[in-house]
Structure 1
Amino acid sequence: MNPRSIWEGLRPAPRAGDGRTTALLTALTSEIPAPYTVRIFHPLPEVPSGATERGFDVDQTNHSVVVAETLVVKWLTPPLPLPQPAPEMFAHLTSVGFTATATPYAAITRGGELLALVTRYLPGARDGWEWCAEEAAAGRTAFADELGVLAADLHLALATPSAVFPDPVRPSPADPPWFARAEAALREALELTGGEDGRWLAAHAHLLTERFRVLADHDATPLIRIHGDLHVGQILRWRDGYAVIDFDGNPTVSDTDLFQPAARDLAQLSTSLEHAGQVAVRRRGADPAATGEWAADATRSLKEAYTRRLREHGHGHLLHDGLLDAFAVEQECRELLYAARHLPRWRYAPMGVLRSWYR
């Protein structure tokens, strides 16, 4: 096939099985016609002609195609306007030697849009909402130590200077917008959450707002480039361990500073463990009381392993743990926004967590 015809055939975005994704991969090492550009992070493995293609059977805002059980091409649907965080994050993490992720190979753009990302396929990978809910139902928490180390290693890598991020750590601003942002998330959640859940939320709004006060009057904390959407669904358990993926940012937040307190990532990861517990109760018949104890143990182990790892590397100052509770409450509000706008059936998870905190 003529390489130019391959590029001209990318509208609409390829789907699994139509062969266009495989054809594109074979064309990445040839001349790239305008207005397309390709940014390579690692050398691409060879793709055999007639390679198999399949999709992922999971809920995704975008869609991904697995090629030859070796590569994953994530098609952004629709393409996203540049700049986007993922290509820069891939370049930085590659530069500082962070490997606990699906190896990034390429970012494909068209004009001013990010079209697709190419990464390694991880054999035996299981989505975090599956394996973590399984751990919750079984009452196992040993994994939380490993996740704490993984999250700390990610933040240590993001705080390491590179040619991409020459100044990756910034001082906290004197008047950060975090309190206003959290209040706005709660206000929107109140507007979009109806029924008994909405009445419960309105009755407890003053308590939630009190949790936010520390965001307006806080001790200084350094800011780093964080993951921005760090939950267990972004952590794959695969043949060789765990891998953090999806550096696209939080879909419920727009126009936010890419530099944030490390506590924001850790708070979201912690709340996602509690969400996994809610999934275990709803879908696996787990006992609610026992699962609540599991969530408390797992989140405690996660934080302890995370802080221990930072201190081992002389960077304990990256975490201001006084911000964790406030960011956790804000995250639950954002989960309600995500449910209202994208996945209504998800509302039970953040509401279950909020009710467990304010019984």
Structure 2
Amino acid sequence: MSRLEDVLREWLPTQRWYGGKGTAVTAVRVEHEERLSGGEDVRHTLLHVTDADGRTELYQVLLGHRSGEVEQRLKAAVVGEVDGRVLYDAVHDPQAVGSLLQLLAEGRTLSRLTFTSTAALDASLPSRVMGAEQSNTSVVYGEDYILKLFRRVQPGLNPDLEITRALAEGGSPYVARPLGWVEGQVGGRTTTLGLLQDFQHNSTEGWAMATASVRDLFAEADLHADEVGGDFAAESERLGAATAEVHVLLREVLPSGVADADESARTARQLHERLDAALAVVPDLEPHAPALRAAYDAVGALTEPVPVQRVHGDYHLGQVLRTEHGWVLLDFEGEPARPLAERTALMSPLRDVAGMLRSYDYAARHLLAERGGDNQLAYRANEWAERNRQAFCDGYARAAGTDPRSEAVLLRAFELDKAVYEVVYEARNRPAWLPIPVGSIERLATP
């Protein structure tokens, strides 16, 4: 490797958006770099990154190159020094990300990058980087736009752009309108690199609202979930209805179909395979394996047709915003670690329902992990989670015309599959939270 690639090999694992947490980077190769217009030397760079397990993935970075020291505000973004020049992550450089907005406003095409806009854009707006994201990096311009840069790149059309654009064109009030996108050529395919949308100012994340409601409940130890001022059930019902309306519209504007018995059997095999992979990482799951496999076998035994369609794919309370006009759903790219073909496959919409139901469990129970497991609070947490899970399903049933709870075999299996995924994540990242998904598996594994 060159000195540049050596520096990147050390820097990448320290980034929140790097997907190979806990695994060393063994090799980095620059696939392509292209200098952006503007005064600074900022290069759009695609990197092939190989880890110690032999996996190779493509990442997108904006690398700034300076001949002298960077100013204080960019010190934390420094990548390293190569041939006497300082390299830094230029998404933290207002001038660099300002040039991206300028390119979008002008609809420019560079040698391998294309910038498309669908609305008149004000390229003079100041920028700031949002700090809460894990998989990608988003830049907010004023209070008007937000540009998401997809850090981990897979060749082709990103489902976040595809689905959001289709829903917006279909008239959905539940998505942030796409204003533009950045594309590049990767492996001979036009590939989504960034998505510009309306910024939802004066909004609150669903997770923040839900956990505030749980804190209110815990603070009123003598009251039930429906008696405290911060009761969240009405919002959960509205969110269920919004989710159902999005699913209904997705069936109309994108492909949909029906899965037969063979497809159900294939789904069951996939569930078993994911459990096998999880057991290899977290052997403590083994006592629950028979019950999990029984739930998955029940899916494989289904003979009735199952409606399938495009779905969100990674749906939880952190993917929704409550605005002054109602709920807005975000981040339709699915789980970024999964292959693009899997993220764009037709699935049962119950996968999204299961993801949100798991999120209610997390909102209620993660605070218990911080408080040492008080029995009275545990009772309240369970009461809150159940009340909001039912409210979400009530809203969904009202808007969709079908109750997700009537498909108990599928819903239970998908919830368990999500909980197994959570066990692996928590074991690797937040061991103190591991009892949350394990406890959910114990509850869900008994029909």
Deviation at 1:78, TM superposition (A): 3.5
Are 1:186 and 2:275 an aligned pair? yes
Structure 2 counterpart of 1:80, one-letter code: Q
Q: 2 CA distance for matches of 1:321 and 1:96?
A: 31
Q: 2 CA distance for matches of 1:271 and 1:104?
A: 29
Aligned with 1:350: secondary structure?
helix
Report the equivalent of 2:84. Answer: none
Report the equivalent of 2:389. Answer: 299
Distance 1:43 1:345, change over 3 A: farther
Report the equivalent of 1:134. Answer: 212
Deviation at 1:325, TM superposition (A): 0.6
Report the equivalent of 1:122. Answer: 200
Deviation at 1:192, TM superposition (A): 1.2
Number of residue pairs matched? 342
Quick check: which has more Rg, 1 or 2?
2
Deviation at 1:348, TM superposition (A): 4.0
Q: 2:245 aligns with which of 137, 153, 157?
A: 153
Aligned with 1:156: secondary structure?
helix
- State how 1:2-81 maps to structure 2 within 5 Å: 4-5=37-38, 9-11=43-45, 12-13=61-62, 14-30=90-106, 31-40=108-117, 42-48=118-124, 51-81=125-155
Aligned with 2:91: secondary structure?
coil
Q: TM-score, normalised by structure 1?
A: 0.85
- Any idea what the Cα deviations from partners look like across 1:39-84, whole Å, max 9, x if unmatched? 44x4143232xx3222223141111111112111111224332232
Report if aligned partners of 2:292, 2:416 keep a CA contact under 8 Å in 1. Answer: yes
Aligned with 2:262: secondary structure?
coil
Q: 1:99 aligns with which of 156, 162, 173?
A: 173
Report if aligned partners of 1:275, 1:353 keep a CA contact under 8 Å in 2. Answer: no
- Any idea what the Cα deviations from partners look like across 1:80-132, whole Å, max 9, x if unmatched? 32232122112211221112122221221121243211111111233333222
Q: 1 CA distance for matches of 2:431 and 2:336?
A: 15
Structure 2 counterpart of 1:58, one-letter code: A
Deviation at 1:324, TM superposition (A): 0.5
Structure 1 counterpart of 2:197, one-letter code: T
Query: Which ranges of structure 1 fall in alignment gaps of 5 or more residues?
Result: none
Deviation at 1:344, TM superposition (A): 5.3
Q: 1 CA distance for matches of 2:176 and 2:428?
A: 29
Q: 1:277 aligns with which of 364, 369, 372?
A: 364
Percent identity among equivalent residues?
23
More moved, 347-356 vs 115-124: 347-356
Q: Give RMSD over aligned pairs.
A: 2.8
Q: 2 CA distance for matches of 1:331 and 1:303?
A: 18
Report the equivalent of 1:90. Answer: 164
Report if aligned partners of 1:16, 1:53 keep a CA contact under 8 Å in 2. Answer: no
Aligned with 2:417: secondary structure?
helix
Report if aligned partners of 2:271, 2:296 keep a CA contact under 8 Å in 1. Answer: yes
Report the equivalent of 1:172. Answer: 259
Query: Which ranges of structure 2 fall in alignment gaps of 5 or more residues?
Result: 1-34, 46-60, 63-89, 218-224, 226-230
Q: 1 CA distance for matches of 2:166 and 2:428?
A: 32
Report if aligned partners of 1:278, 1:352 keep a CA contact under 8 Å in 2. Answer: no
Report the equivalent of 2:294. Answer: 210
Structure 1 counterpart of 2:115, one-letter code: V
Are 1:260 and 2:347 an aligned pair? yes
Structure 1 counterpart of 2:274, one-letter code: A
Structure 1 counterpart of 2:201, one-letter code: P
Deviation at 1:245, TM superposition (A): 0.1
- Any idea what the Cα deviations from partners look like across 1:279-326, whole Å, max 9, x if unmatched? 232347881111101111111111121011112xxx779x84541111
Structure 2 counterpart of 1:180, one-letter code: R
Distance 1:252 1:128, change over 3 A: farther
- Any idea what the Cα deviations from partners look like across 1:211-253, whole Å, max 9, x if unmatched? 1122102221111111111111111123433211001112354
- Any idea what the Cα deviations from partners look like across 1:2-52, whole Å, max 9, x if unmatched? 974489643442423432122211221323223112344x4143232xx32
Report the equivalent of 1:289. Answer: 379
- Higher RCO, Cα 8 Å, sep 6+: 1
Q: 2 CA distance for matches of 1:252 and 1:193?
A: 19
Distance 1:329 1:57, change over 3 A: same
Distance 1:344 1:280, change over 3 A: closer
Structure 2 counterpart of 1:28, one-letter code: L
Distance 1:125 1:209, change over 3 A: same
Q: 2 CA distance for matches of 1:245 and 1:350?
A: 24
Task: Give the structure with the higher percent strand.
Answer: 2
Report if aligned partners of 1:193, 1:340 keep a CA contact under 8 Å in 2. Answer: yes
Q: 2 CA distance for matches of 1:44 and 1:288?
A: 52
Structure 2 counterpart of 1:72, one-letter code: I
Q: 1 CA distance for matches of 2:94 and 2:370?
A: 34
Report if aligned partners of 1:221, 1:320 keep a CA contact under 8 Å in 2. Answer: no
Q: TM-score, normalised by structure 2?
A: 0.70
Q: 1 CA distance for matches of 2:326 and 2:92?
A: 27
Report if aligned partners of 2:295, 2:409 keep a CA contact under 8 Å in 1. Answer: no
